[in-house]
Structure 1
Amino acid sequence: MKRCHLAYAASAVAALVGTGIGPGAAPAAALHQTLVVHQGESIQQAVNRARPGDTVLVLPGTYKESVTISTPRVTLRGTGARTVIEPAAKTTAGPAPSKVTKDTKATKSCAEGGNGICVIGTKTTNVEGVTVADLKVTGFARAGVFGMATDTMTVHGVQAVRNSVWGIAQERSVHGRITGNYAQGNGDAGVFLANTITEEAGALDTRRTVIDHNRLEDNRIGVTVRRLRNLSVAENHIEGNCAGVFVVGDENKPKAGDLEVAYNDVTENNKYCPKTDRLPAIQGSGIVLTGAEKTVVDGNRVTGNSGKSPLSGGIVLFKSFVGVTNDQNRVSGNALAGNAPADLVNTETKGIGNTFDHNACRVSKPAGLC
């Protein structure tokens, strides 16, 4: 196995040379390093060697492996679309039992779960400050990029393409930043955020996670926000999915919501997706709230979303499939046109305090919402 090349940051060298400080006395920040990975080398081996504050720079090439990051403040960066991470070829034998380390187990868990890049904390401690940037991740059986138990995880400039479930996903995470990415052709959501996917629980306060300036095309759903609170979905371009944005709640407490969906361009999400165990067939859904409260849907451009699903329409309030109402949501200042069966759809009969005001639209169900 080739050895990864190490290049110390120029600032560290300058600090040592300019001040005469020896290596043992150098400030911690000056010791941050860049580990450069060439095609044919192992990204995971470089990540295993990285210390907090280090960068793993992956040069152009195709890398057939899954990668797990559990060290805080590590940056995994490619060189754009020319850095491609794909699933490894299947093998029948793993390492000998005597050589199975903690890192090996974490990596196997990520790979065996069908994920591409995993950023993983623990049940008691979130891994902080990890960045994944400027690369393409494609073809994985589950998620392209997956974070669990993270704090201030940033995903930027990533192309998450044709993964079987999610493009970019986070679970049990706070302060996230998912910005400036491209998610296309993923089997479920281009961007998926949830409190937890393995058990029932009330909505998690994400402490202002931000999903912004992403382009989300040809997925089942552009963005799914499931059982979360206190986040922003803003200024994304969402086109050609079966549905644009889903905000999903259920009967657990606290209730999902207290978030914003604002200034997105949500257009022609008219792909047809058959029903699943959780949802009926969906087509032509722009922005859907189901079982949510205190959500602000403001300043979006929602056009040309048309279908015959119960969830079709421009902006739709729909009672959740476990019977939880939408309450105290505000839909205001949106520009809607060419959505069917209507620009604004409110199927709630028992929801309390939902308001529709200052929207530019022509047709609503029931009438009078425009």
Structure 2
Amino acid sequence: MKRIALPAALAAAVMALAGPVAFASAEGPAASSAAAKKKTTKKKTTKKKTTKKKTTKAKALLVCRRGCPYSSIQKAVDAAKPGATVRIKPGTYTEGVTVKDTQDKLKIVGLGTKPEEVVLEGKGAKRADGNPAQNGIFVDGADGVEMRNITAQNFPANGFFVRNCDDYVMDHLVAGFNRAYGLYAFNCIGGRMTYSVGYGHGDSAFYIGQTPVQEKPKQSLISHSEAYENVLGYSGTNSKYVTIQQSEFYNNGAGVAPNTLQSEKFPPALDGKVTDNLIYWNNFNYFKADSKVKALPAATGGFNYPMGVGVVLFGTTNWDVRANLVFGNFKWGIMSVSDPTYEPATNKNNKVRYNVMGAAFDDANGTDIWTEGTGSGNCWENNSAGATYDPGSQPEALLYPKCNNPVNNGDVVQIAEVAEYLTQSEGQENSWKKHPHPPRPDRKPIDGQGG
């Protein structure tokens, strides 16, 4: 995957606005003798044996289609002890792989020069028990498992899925056209998703959700990654302690969407950062009949996910959206909205600041920044010159307060606008402010098409 390159002028603009940006780090006998005191009687002296501990190096298990000790990844994983490495030669493996909760610190590594050379194929894939495989790799409760340099595609559920874990590494992975999620972490503490790509998912390419509450939080990181042609680029229900940085979200229905819902434990979505990302052209209308991507039922219903939006803060607390480049999203660049039916999903203490918005790229968002004004302590400041704020019934200074005086009041005009928008499906596109985009190397906008 290519690293994100910014034109020098834009990079300078971000630095001028934001100043120094701090990013979360990716990583992370002596023997005794006795003599008898009585005449000729001596007590036996005993020495404790000092046994040297053997340091055994974790075994590497090699997988290939023919001529290796293992012809399937699952067989190698089944034979692996904690800390072992499963090494996979290039090829296509039509199987789903499960890692048991006893296999902490297992490493599963593709040996190709790029992730596309080692492919887990979901069409026709089976689990070891003969049932259809739902996931490419499913880590069920093991801690510190690493997955590197692999592609997982066309699975009925997810590409790479970890749950109930303490730490994980997903690095240089590709997830394509899995039904639900690409890289998916659920009920985990800490972890990294880096240098990876996700496309064609019915929910999101990257997901970190139901993060347990922690007194001394362990951070989760998404960085140097790319999401396109998904319902959502990033989604995280009740996600916490997450940093999303130096990544690219484009041609999704919406780009980055942390959220709070009743469907998962540990509300709300808390203490996150979205910083130094490219978030653009998120105008994918997946409701259209010709769409190759079909949204999961959770994305549709009485209220639908918003399309045409770069960043969605839905019921978040203490999220900082800072120093991102946000442009060419035909409805809103960055939106903030609470759920009036669920108190934990009330936006609180979020900051939207130092972002470079559409005008700076000659590629306007429909409106750069939108809120319905609910919640408390939310603020907007120091976004780029010419940034536009969607007007409500209140003066702009009250609807979008600065961070030194963040007093919020719900705005009935804005509330009515978002309610009307979210009850539409394919028709959301009718209110978009469409225009041609300046070209970008190796990128083609979808702009409402079904993909």
TM-score range, shorter chain: 0.7 to 0.9
Partner of residue 225 from structure 1, selected from 218, 236, 245? 236
* Residues 349, 377 of structure 2: 8 Å contact kept: yes
**Structure 1: runs of 5 or more not aligned:** 1-23, 92-103, 122-126, 197-202, 308-312
C-alpha distance in structure 2 between counterparts of 1:286 and 1:155, whole Å: 24
- 1:69 pairs with 94, 99, 108, which one? 99
Q: Decide whether the 8 Å contact of 1:317 with 1:345 is kept in 2.
A: yes
Which structure: larger Rg? Answer: 2
User: Match of 1:52?
Assistant: 82
Amino acid corresponding to residue 231 of structure 1 in structure 2: V
Size of the alignment, in residue pairs? 314
Residues 339/253 of structure 1: CA separation in 2 closer, same or farther (3 Å cut): farther
Residues 131/342 of structure 1: CA separation in 2 closer, same or farther (3 Å cut): same
SS at structure 2 position matched to 1:207: coil
Contact 1:273 1:281 (C-alpha < 8 Å) held by counterparts: no
Aligned to 1:268: 281
Match of 2:32 in 1: none
SS in 1 for 2:219: strand
Question: 1:164 Cα deviation (Å)?
Answer: 1.1
Q: CA–CA distance in 1 between the matches of 2:369 and 2:267?
A: 27
**2:409 matched residue in structure 1:** none
Find 2:183's aligned residue among 164, 168, 172.
168
How far did residue 88 of structure 1 move? 5.9
TM-score (norm 2): 0.65
Q: TM-score, normalised by structure 1?
A: 0.79
Query: 1:314 aligned to 2:329?
Result: no
Q: Per-residue deviation at 1:27?
A: 3.8
Note the alpha carbon deviations across 1:54-80, whole angstroms, 9 max, x for none. 110110111010001121111001122
Q: Secondary structure at the match of 1:116?
A: strand
Q: Does 1:120 align with 2:150?
A: no
Query: Which residue is equivalent to 1:81?
Result: 116
What's the secondary structure of 2:376's corresponding residue?
Answer: coil
Deviation at 1:272, TM superposition (A): 1.0
CA distance in 1, matches of 2:135, 2:183: 10
Q: Aligned pair 1:299/2:312, yes or no?
A: no
Q: Distance in 2 between matches of 1:85 and 1:331?
A: 39
**Corresponding letter in the other structure for 1:336:** M
C-alpha displacement of 1:257:
1.6
List per-residue Cα deviations over 1:153-197 (Å, max 9, x = no partner).
10000010111111110111011101110111122100112118x
The SS at the match of 2:218 is strand
Offset of residue 343 of structure 1? 0.3
1:174-253 map, 5 Å: 174-195=189-210, 204-205=213-214, 207-250=218-261
- What residue in structure 2 maps to residue 101 of structure 1? none
- How big is the shift at 1:254? 4.7
Q: Which residue in the other structure is 1:288 paired with?
A: 312
Helix, strand or coil at the partner of 1:47: helix
The reply to whether residue 334 of structure 1 matches residue 366 of structure 2 is: no
Percent identity at matched positions? 26
Structure 2 counterpart of 1:50, one-letter code: A
SS in 1 for 2:77: helix
Partner SS state of residue 331, structure 1: strand
Residue aligning to 1:363: 388
Asked if the contact 2:95–2:136 (Cα under 8 Å) also holds between the matched residues in 1, the reply is yes
Q: Distance in 1 between matches of 2:125 and 2:157?
A: 15
Matched AA of 2:116: A
Of structures 1 and 2, the one with the larger relative CO (CA 8 A, separation 6+) is 2
With over 3 angstroms needed to count, the CA separation of the structure-2 counterparts of 1:278 and 1:145, relative to structure 1, is farther
Q: RMSD across aligned C-alpha pairs, in angstroms?
A: 2.4
Q: 1:248 to 1:223 in 2, by over 3 A?
A: same
Partner amino acid, structure 2, of 1:325: T
SS state at 2:152 partner: strand
Query: In structure 1, which of residues 24, 38, 42 is the aligned counterpart of residue 64 of structure 2?
Result: 38
| 1:325 to partner: Cα distance | 2.1
Q: What secondary structure is seen at the aligned counterpart in 2 of 1:45? A: helix
Alpha-carbon offset, residue 281 of structure 1: 4.9
CA distance in 1, matches of 2:129, 2:318: 41
Higher strand fraction: Structure 1 or Structure 2?
1
Provide structure 2 residue ranges, at least 5 long, that are not aligned to the other structure: 1-50, 288-298, 403-451
CA deviation string 1:27-46 (max 9, x = no partner): 43x42221110125111110
Change in Cα spacing, 1:65 to 1:26, as seen in structure 2 (3 Å) is farther
Equivalent residue of 2:75, what SS?
Answer: helix
Distance (Å, rounded) in 2 between the aligned partners of 1:155 and 1:172: 16
SS of 1:295 mapped into structure 2: strand
